[in-house]
Amino acid sequence: MNLFEKGPGILSGLKDCPRFFSPATVSTGIIAAIMGTTGPLVMVLTAAQEGMLPVEQAIAWVFSIYFFGGVITLLMALWYKQPICGAWSIPGLLLVGVVLSEFSINEAVGAYMISGFIVLLLGLSGYIKKVMLWLPQPIIMGMIAGAMLRFGIGIADGIEAAPLMALITLVGWLLLSRFIPRIPGVLGALVFGIITAAAIGAADLSAFEFSFASPMLFRPAFSFDAFLSIAIPLSIVVIGAENTQAMGTLMSQDYKPPVNTMIIISGIGGIVAGMFGGHNANIAGPMTAITAGPESGPKEGRYVASVVDGILFGAAGIMAGAAASFIGALPGPMINVIVGLAMIGVLTNAFSTAFSGKYQLGAFFALVIAASGVSFLKIAAPFWALLGGVLISLILEPGLFTGDAEPEKPVAGQNLESK
């Protein structure tokens, strides 16, 4: 078995780039990058703040996931000449954000790296498809929906705390979503929110400093609690949500995605990003979907859209210091609304996948356990949500596991992120 599928190679990809460099590939590459560097960036910095990380560690986090996400994009797109994008996992970020304050940064880094090793080993095994079907997708999505629900509720909290600013932020999202749907509506929310916050004196932009990121290497620490609370759920999300989406999207466009290589590089990305304080860097489904679509032009040249996205993503990581300084000057209620709006696509797709087919009882219990935020034995809710959801389905829906009923398959190409 060849663990790494053969491809044309980076030199071939570089050679043909000028031929396919067009308004179509450039525009979709930029849109994919905008999707990943507006609301999602705010979410990373919000999670870092809630996890009580110092500013320099938050900047290191942003650098690692964006820079190495960009590197993955460039390597995969150029080597295989397919519109494959690397980024990081929003559901994974939110799962980490829920429990980050319960662990030291070194324990979190250790769990990130273990997650990367798990994904890498599964990729090297060559049996990843069986692993992807082992845990029911609806239960995974129920857990994700429950863990992320509080971010959606943040929209209402932001409106209650600062009605004028929050509502104008919401108007920006509505206008862009209605009249320019190709551009993420959260970008309109960000622009309208910043203008309003500056006009009413709620944003202190005088403290903004343009600075580049200062990467940091962290010494990992390993604990069983962090392994169960972070590493296991994060591994499941990277494989079951991120890679599955990307593979399904490429197949739907008549590409032959390098399945094993995509899993393996997601594992390597998790290890390397973890060393620098990031929760993971992996193949990303939604951004792959944007660059792989017909809007990117002829099929053989769509990989150039991913190249454009990868360059912009890497640049965002290098300029993480400036981004952190800017976001830190914005008012909390506006941030809550923007994060909530950025989560709409994630939440709606998670709910849809969780409750549109089989395993609904297990998905429901996974949702409520994750939403409760309960913690037993110092192990956080996402782990118990997965365990509880599977147990409920095993007891009440046993035919789905024994083969008496056809198990639910992962939803190929489903857009589970807003980035």
Encode pLDDT of 183-195 as tens digits: 778 788 888 998 9
Asked which of 31-40, 303-312, 397-406 is least confident by mean pLDDT, the reply is 397-406
User: In the predicted model, is pLDDT for residue 357 greater than 80?
Assistant: yes
Q: What is the pLDDT of residues 205-224, one digit of tens each?
A: 666 677 788 899 999 999 99
Contact 265, 243 (CB under 8 A): no
Q: How far apart, in whole angstroms, are the C-alpha atoms of residue 239 and residue 129?
A: 10
How far, in Å, CA of 274 to CA of 216, rounded? 11
Burial class (CB in 10 A: 0-12, 13-18, 19+), 154: buried
Question: For 132-177, how does the pLDDT look when each residue is reduced to its tens digit (9 = 90+)?
Answer: 556 787 887 888 788 778 878 989 999 999 999 999 999 999 998 8
Cα torsion angle, 8, 13, 19, 23, sign: positive
**What are 409's two structure tokens?**
């398959």
Phi-psi region of 348 (alpha: psi -120 to 50; beta: other; left: phi over 0): alpha
Question: Which element (helix H / strand E) includes 263?
Answer: helix 259-275
What's the pLDDT score for residue 88?
92
The band of 405, judged by pLDDT with boundaries at 50, 70 and 90, is low
Answer yes or no: are the C-beta atoms of 182 and 194 closer than 8 Å: no
Instruction: With a cut of 70, say whether residue 402 has pLDDT above it.
Output: no
For 250-304, what is each residue's pLDDT tens digit? Answer: 887 889 989 889 999 999 999 999 999 999 999 987 788 888 888 888 999 999 9
pLDDT confidence bin for 409, thresholds 50/70/90: very low
H or E element in which residue 283 lies:
strand 282-283
Q: State phi, psi for 38 to the nearest 5 degrees.
A: -110, -95
**pLDDT of the residue at 416:** 37
Report the distance separating Cα 385 and Cα 149, nearest Å: 14
**pTM for this one?**
0.76
Q: How far is CA 209 from CA 45, 195, 198, in A?
A: 16, 18, 17
